[in-house]
Amino acid sequence: MGLLSGTGNCIGYGIGKAKVQAGQNRNIQKTVVEYPEAELARFDAAYEATKITVQALLDREVEDTGTDGEKIFETHLAFLDDPGFVDAIRDMISEDAVNAEWAVREVGERLALMLSQIDSEIIKERSADIRDLYITLLDHLDGNVAVDEPEKDDKSGRKVLVVEELIPSYVIRLNKGEVAGLVAEKGNITSHAAILAKLKCIPAIVGVCGLMDAVKTGDLILADTFSGEVYINPDEQTQTRITCAAECYETEQCACDAEKAEDAITADGTRVIIEANIGTPAEATLADEACAEGIGLFRSEFLFMENRTLPDEEKQFLAYREAAEKMGTREVVIRTMDIGGDKPAPGLPLPAEQNPFLGLRAIRLSLQRKDLFMTQLRAILRASAFGNVAIMFPMISSMEELRDAKAVLEEAKASLAAEEIAFCASVKVGMMVEIPATVTMSDLFAHEVDFFSIGTNDLIQYTLAADRINQAVAPLYTAYHPAVLRQIALVAKNGHLSGIETAICGEAASDPLLLPFFVGVGIDRLSMSPNLVPTAKRGVRRCRDYACKQLAQSVMMLSTATEVKQALLAYQESCKES
């Protein structure tokens, strides 16, 4: 029996025969061809077939408002229509007289490598798109495009897909009923692809070192996304244990869906508000269907990042109003634009930075570009007349930034009042807590805002000095580090002392292992992907306040992330037995 480990998405178990997907490192030999014209014809046929495949995937995703598929496959088509990409492949085939597979891989990998070296999270995602695209071209050249899909009701026939790296467009194509799980040698749990897998409720484990060398197609794989363990051809005892755990989990999920309309109230009467994160107004429908109690995070930057021109006040107003109206009386927290540096907006060219995560982004950019900030605040305020809207400022690191942002908000209110345009004058104002300096001063910040929202994705990387998209330091990036948990507890404590609520809106909010800890330190709200809301609600209802407080105190006294995770796993098991 082999055992490897990585980081799981904590949504169940992947059990099935391994299907190893050939990636960019497939064995391709450079061959000198006698007739380059014939090789060009092969490439042209594969190129046209790839366009048909991508267009079909795009057509399928156009009607799906719950994923990013439309945008991703539009990007693929744009690359296919780019003469610089296609002509470079054709030129290599004709001028160097090489086989089409070699040319596709060489040109594709050069472009992907170039994009991956740009200090931008979004551009780095494009490098993954290029790799996925040229892999699709290679599949068509090999005549290996069709994927055997077992009957969706026959769970015994589903495969655990084993890949070198999770790619967003690859995950988009999958459905929960078609695969038992995903396991990847590379990647981080907060990557775009990993988040998409969670959105689709596909069990996934990433960052599994040595995976591709250890697994071959046909091996039996048991993937435990809670512990992050990947068992390869396990013994009978391990199979029985994991299979029983998987069956219990599925039973639990059915109960979660049946009870999703119920409030999240602990056994001792403490209520935790479970909300949804969205990036577009259309996703508010998914939040409503999941019985989310509000929108804890509307990522407004997507309005800026997905358009070639900057959205004007009217376009933003309509988007925010749509989300607010869909949620009725439930609160919709709109985060002002978190763009710049690592999240470029096509309509807002910015100078390249050596350290984009520490550079001009979020509130820093908003305060520098007061014209854009004012436009956005006016749009949000106008939307507040049509629903329960709150405003949240991202990446606050100093009191001066917060007060300057609030001053611009007052200017926006005054301008609307002068024009006699309706808005909610008492709109709630909050701030994200995602920088250690802000945590340290949270007792003072609590007197300046109506609520805190902890952004764990950035808080982890800033606390641990571990880039959340850098594979080389992926093992260091973990929400289970005692320093991270102590900071979360401190923010909640200081919020309560000043009478304001503390929410969590990062990926950690949906981690079932951390849920009792959050209850124990007094987190008031948790915001996550809409599909995970029912599970979190049921998880809260099973909590006992005193036991959660004891757990929180004990794990904060531990020394390592490994010890913390083991303690949380042990607590989870003890709850199952009781």
Q: Among the options 10, 76, 140, 192, which is catalytic?
A: 192
Is 192 known to be catalytic?
yes
Looking at the DSSP bridge assignments, the partners of residue 391 are: 334, 429
- DSSP state for residue 337 in the 8-state scheme: P
Would you tell me how many other CB atoms lie within 10 Å of the CB of residue 149? 13
Alpha helices in 424-558 (DSSP H): 436-440, 442-445, 456-464, 482-497, 515-521, 533-541, 545-555
Distance CA 234, CA 210 (A): 17
**Three-state SS at 332:** strand
State the amino acid at position 230 in one-letter form: V
Would you tell me how many other CB atoms lie within 10 Å of the CB of residue 298? 31
Q: Among the options 256, 291, 505, 548, which is catalytic?
A: 505
- Say which residue the tokens 């399928």 belong to: 60
Q: Answer whether 283's CB lies under 8 Å from 289's CB.
A: no
Beta strands in 92-157 (DSSP E): none
CA 356, distance to chain mean position in Å, is: 19
Q: Answer whether 185's CB lies under 8 Å from 211's CB.
A: yes
Lookup: tokens for 448: 């300046």
Distance CA 196, CA 388 (A): 28
**Three-state SS at 229:** strand
The kind and range of the H/E element at 317 are: helix 313-327
Distance CA 452, CA 489 (A): 12
CB under 8 Å to 328, separation ≥6 — which residues?
A: 387, 388
Would you tell me how many other CB atoms lie within 10 Å of the CB of residue 523? 25
Q: Show which residues are catalytic.
A: 192, 505
